[in-house]
Structure 1
């Protein structure tokens, strides 16, 4: 098996081809990782969530890591790691344009609101939507690719 470093463009192409990633965040030295659905545009990942642990943790520490990978078998795979910064897109006049951009990018995929729009168990009926949109500005992206040698 041969392993090589991917170029920045190869990394971004892999991220653009996919829509499910693993989001890593930390709080008080404790790591937490969860799947997210995302859309890539203009050096940002856009995503959507219900309030909960990952949002609380990213509010406390906006430095995050995102991992995207593909593979056909143990010898043929590609993996990208993104380091970036969380920014919430609140439902306010100031953030309206960016929020609508996130929504329009995400809704291009079937079931775009999963898994971010679902929580385990019964949820109370709310008078307003508790859903949150957020972006991750990409600071750094690296990747590796393996192929049978």
Structure 2
């Protein structure tokens, strides 16, 4: 049976998952990549090194975010969020976002102390010299959810 997720079911799925896919487009070229995230019930928070997706979202802040839970071909749930990319510049908000991301992601990490590409390492110098980390959020405009059971 195919169906629509309720608002509560969509919120639950967004809060349960850790990896989604963010889609963006600029100059007529679409781009989609998997990404770690943290959802606080209002915004979806991310971090990334500067690269293609950040460059695209800076040009065009309209994004689409997908998260799903696939048990089998005939048993799955998915939520699609249409929203707006916003780079976080306020240091206090950046710190809160990173703490939320670290808290959410680290239980799934093989070696939690050594992930400099995620802004996490035993020595702070290992992070700062290797990459410029961008902390950003997606401000949801609308969301839809579907399932098959």
TM range (shorter): 0.7 to 0.9
2-structure distance, mates of 1:115, 1:33: 23
**Of Structure 1 and Structure 2, which has the larger fraction of its residues in helix?**
2
Corresponding residue for residue 137 of structure 2: 135
Deviation at 1:128, TM superposition (A): 7.8
Which residue does 1:97 correspond to in 2?
A: 92
1:64-120: CA deviation from partner (whole Å, max 9, x where unpaired): 000001111111100110001101113xxxx112111101101112148979649xx
Deviation digits for residues 97-148 of structure 1 (CA, Å, limit 9, x no counterpart)? 2111101101112148979649xxxxxx96585111000111111110101x
Match of 1:145 among 106, 128, 147: 147
Kindly provide the CA deviation profile for residues 40-78 of structure 1, in whole angstroms up to 9, marking residues without a partner as x.
014101110000100000000000000001111111100
Q: Which runs of 5 or more structure 2 residues have no equivalent in the other structure?
A: 120-126
> How many aligned residue pairs are there?
136
**Which consecutive unaligned segments of at least 5 residues does structure 1 have?**
119-124
Q: Is the 8 A contact 2:80 2:144 kept in 1?
A: yes
User: Structure 1 length normalisation: TM-score?
Assistant: 0.83
Post-superposition offset of 1:39: 0.3
Give the direction of change, closer, same or farther, for the CA distance of 1:88–1:97 in structure 2 (3 Å limit).
same
How well do the aligned residues superpose, as a CA RMSD in angstroms?
A: 2.3
Q: 1:105 to 1:3 in 2, by over 3 A?
A: same
Judged with a 3 Å threshold, the aligned counterparts in structure 2 of structure 1 residues 10 and 28 are, in CA distance, closer, same or farther, namely same
SS state of the match for residue 36, structure 1? strand
Paired residue secondary structure (2:95): helix
Structure 1 residue 106 corresponds to structure 2 residue 101: yes
How far apart, in 1, do the equivalents of 2:72 and 2:88 lie? 38
